[in-house]
Structure 1
Amino acid sequence: MAMAAAVLLAVAAAVVMVEVAAAATYTVGAPDGLWDMQTDYAEWVKTKTFHPGDNITFTYSPELHDVVEVTKAGYDACSSANNISALRTGNDVVPLTAAGTRYFLCGLTGHCGNGMKIRVDVVAAASSAPGPAAGPASLSAAVPTSASRAAAGVAIRVAAASLLLHAARRRQLAFTTRASLVLRACVATFGVLASFVSAAYVCSMYTLLFSRMLVSFIFSQQAGQQRINALARSIT
């Protein structure tokens, strides 16, 4: 159980690292506020840079507010008429799929006028094409992404190896159960076979065969466990 928990934690950490490297999720107004009438969203967006692939999350009480995406004209006039979309779950995740400007406001009467609106400028990520002055900074920026992908690959291999080891242990249990039944049947034949020596020989052969197979199972599991431990250590 401890190894399975460690594997799951490693996979989860790797997935998070890959997601962080690829995109970001911003909770509107956080950490000082949320989607409310107290937060200054013009100031909040100044500290953020949004790229295609990022997400913004509106967190609020659906009994008190909503989220309406509007055009620039609707944003300037604080009007939710002819809106693009309306969200009312209280935990609305909006994907920023392309570069451009998005406008959001609260559609309840008076809320937008009290500052409950936000303009989100989504800018394209920097080009990956080599420039004339590519320096150490640009090279170091690429390191987290490659490292996170490598960690994710190792974590996935650890999870796969753990599953295979678990399956091997189940096969060993099933084999042991069947071997026990066969040996019991063999012993029961002592009173039936004409020759006690013949019965003992047959049973001893079965016992030797089953013992060798059981030892093979054990060595295979030990090798698998060592492989998992080595992969897990390579993550850290």
Structure 2
Amino acid sequence: MSSLMMCCLLLLFGLLSEGREILVGGKSNTWKVPESRDETLNQWSERTRFKIGDSLLWKYNAENDSVLQVREKDYERCDRSEPIRGYKDGHTNIELKRSGPFYFISGEEGHCQRGEKLRVVVLSPNHKRSVVDAPAPVNVDLSPNYNRSVAAPPVNAHITNKGSLNRGAWSLLLLPLGLLV
């Protein structure tokens, strides 16, 4: 294999392995005390697949809120006293560099206790994924009392591929390999 082909393959794999930037809650200003316990960021998180290399982006009002990354015990107790990291810039971007759970709470007094918190679980690199990142499965009740007029809520993840390639970029990478038809 020529060195040019090897370089192209390495570049291709590098670009494809980059993570995505995922807007927390699927839109700006979702990092706030939820209006009801039925609409929490954890429900959004459970419907979104996260992988190593993805970045979470919080867009919030920095004048009255902040983001703290905490340990599980501090997440459960809403304890703000010993965060792993704290952010108060209104445009917080955190890369998920390992698999497993990540815990975030608001740094403002009383916000976490009222539901402003987020748990994100990053899939293991060994997790079998489909070609397209899909939302988590929805349990469907097909009993005779099942109301067919109620649909599952849409998944609003607002995901931006940081490593996506357009058709022109694919052509440039595959041309030296003689893979274009």
Task: Report the TM-score, using the length of structure 2 for normalisation.
Answer: 0.60
Distance in 2 between residues matched to 1:67 and 1:87, nearest whole Å: 5
Indicate if the aligned counterparts of 1:59 and 1:90 stay in contact, CA closer than 8 A: yes
Secondary structure, aligned partner of 1:75: helix
* CA gap 1:23/1:74 in 2 versus in 1, 3 angstroms: same
* CA gap 1:155/1:69 in 2 versus in 1, 3 angstroms: same
Gap regions ≥5 residues in structure 2: 1-13, 133-163, 174-179
Q: What residue number does 1:94 align with?
A: 94
* CA gap 1:119/1:127 in 2 versus in 1, 3 angstroms: closer
Distance in 2 between residues matched to 1:64 and 1:19, nearest whole Å: 37
Q: What residue number does 1:117 align with?
A: 117
Q: What residue number does 1:56 align with?
A: 56
One-letter amino acid of the counterpart of residue 62, structure 2: P
Secondary structure, aligned partner of 2:26: coil
Greater fraction helix: 1
- Number of aligned residues: 130
Q: Does 1:152 align with 2:163?
A: no
Deviation (angstroms), 1:80? 1.1
Equivalent residue runs for 1:60-79 within 5 Å:
60-79=60-79
Indicate if the aligned counterparts of 2:28 and 2:58 stay in contact, CA closer than 8 A: no
Task: Report the TM-score, using the length of structure 1 for normalisation.
Answer: 0.47
One-letter amino acid of the counterpart of residue 118, structure 1: L
Q: What residue number does 2:105 align with?
A: 105
Q: In percent, how many aligned pairs have the same letter?
A: 24
Greater fraction strand: 2
Between the two structures, name the one with larger relative contact order (CA 8 Å, sep ≥ 6): 2
Give the structure with higher Rg (CA): 1
Distance in 2 between residues matched to 1:22 and 1:149, nearest whole Å: 15
Deviation (angstroms), 1:127? 6.2
* CA gap 1:127/1:113 in 2 versus in 1, 3 angstroms: closer
Q: Provide the alpha-carbon RMSD of the alignment.
A: 3.6
Distance in 1 between residues matched to 2:78 and 2:15, nearest whole Å: 35
Indicate if the aligned counterparts of 2:28 and 2:60 stay in contact, CA closer than 8 A: no
Distance in 2 between residues matched to 1:21 and 1:47, nearest whole Å: 22
Deviation (angstroms), 1:22? 3.2
Gap regions ≥5 residues in structure 1: 1-17, 129-136, 157-234
